[in-house]
Amino acid sequence: MNMSTAAIHVERSGDTAQVTIDNAAKANALDSALLDALCEVFVALAFDPPRAIVLRGAGEKAFAGGADLRELGALDEKTARTFITRVHAACNAVRRCPAPVIARLRGHALGAGLELAVSCDIRVAADDAIFGMPEVRFAIPSVVEAALLPAIIGRGRAAWFLLTGRNVDAQRALEWGLVERVVPAAALDGEIEDTIAAIRELDPQAVREQKRLLAFWDEHPLSAGIAESIDSLAQSYREGAPNRLIGEFLAARRRR
């Protein structure tokens, strides 16, 4: 399935898909049409999930430079609620998509663009990437998926990030745990391919179930997360995949 919707392009190749935010002339800024299209694309991918999805921005200057400032500057109390709900819907569609989503990060990931990045499962950044939550500079709180930041980088770092509105570079983002890998720009796609190769080695249903559990753990207390995990592990034996894979591993070890 290859498709294009309001400057969101999807290219499926083999068992993977690449989703591109194509608004490079505006640093891949996210307006209402783009947000709706992004949500639509990830909902569609959820019905027939590939082994992995790479989410990227067109060009090399930005993953997504934030919400479109022209639209943001024209909002009122009612339309602001509608717009930010669109941001959440797009981010939530990424989080709920069963396939692992890898953010390919070059240049700027700011505001709503960073919220989109932290909604991905894995973030791989070039060493020229810049991250920021500048909303407070415009008298707006950072909201919706910014709520993921304290768990990802810690409450104190999230507070510094959100209350100062200052950017951080790729190395600081790596130190904070905001991204999982930082590589030279020329090595970015190779690093992402290595990540996909690791995912490809695994049972796809187990990977999708693990992603579901990660989201459940994010949203529920520890006791509920443990109970859900026990049920999940027990159900994984229904089709016998663990028995088969463990048997194959032990047989190979004996042969060695």
Tens-digit pLDDT string for the chain (256 aa): 565 556 999 999 999 999 999 999 999 999 999 999 999 999 999 999 999 999 999 999 999 999 999 999 999 999 999 999 999 999 999 999 999 999 999 999 999 999 999 999 999 999 999 999 999 999 999 999 999 999 999 999 999 999 999 999 999 999 999 999 999 999 999 999 999 999 999 999 999 999 999 999 999 999 999 999 999 999 999 989 999 999 999 999 998 8
Three-state DSSP class for residue 109: strand
Look up residue 41 and give its amino acid. V
pLDDT of residue 239: 87
Sequence-separated (6 or more) residues with CB below 8 Å from residue 148: 115, 118, 119, 218
For the entire predicted model, the pTM comes to 0.94
Question: What are the residue boundaries of the structural domains of the chain, listed by start?
Answer: 3-200, 204-255
pLDDT of residue 52: 98
Q: Which helix (H) or strand (E) holds 130?
A: strand 130-132
At residue 63, φ and ψ (nearest 5 deg) are -70, -60
pLDDT of residue 208: 97
DSSP 8-state symbol, 37? H
Cα→Cα distances 163→5, 166, 196, Å: 35, 8, 35
Question: What is the helix, strand, coil percentage profile of the chain, to 5?
Answer: 55, 20, 25
Report domain 3-200's class.
alpha beta
Look up residue 50 and give its amino acid. P
